[in-house]
Structure 1
Amino acid sequence: MAARKSSPRKIRLLKKTKQTSAVPAWIILKTKRGVRTNPKRRAWRSTDVEVG
């Protein structure tokens, strides 16, 4: 990927980075392990990000 990215594209990539994070430990404890995994988790290598 090119080093020179436009600001809107950087913002979209940052949003995707935040979305692919794991579920925080305190939420797992709060829900008594009802919520353990993030269903929207994305593998960075195998899945392409359509951000333009």
Structure 2
Amino acid sequence: MSRSKPSGVKRRLARALKENSAVPAWVILKTNGKFRFNPKKRNWRRNDLKV
């Protein structure tokens, strides 16, 4: 990947990076395990971003 990216691409990559996190433990406890998994979880090798 190139070092210098357009700002739009950089913004979308940053958003994808933030989305790619697990659900916090306190959220799982607060919702009694109803929200346990993040459906937007993504692996960098398996899934490709449409940036």
State the TM-score, normalizing by the size of structure 1.
0.86
**Structure 1 consecutive aligned stretches of length 4 or more whose deviation exceeds 2 Å:** none
Report the count of equivalent residues: 51
Identity %: 51
State the TM-score, normalizing by the size of structure 2.
0.87
What does residue range 21-32 of structure 1 map to in structure 2 within 5 Å?
Answer: 21-32=21-32
> Alignment RMSD, CA only?
0.9
2:12 equivalent in structure 1: 12
What residue ranges of structure 2 are gaps of 5+ in the alignment? none
What residue ranges of structure 1 are gaps of 5+ in the alignment? none
| Counterpart code for 1:16 | A
Q: d(CA) in 1 for partners of 2:11 and 2:40?
A: 19
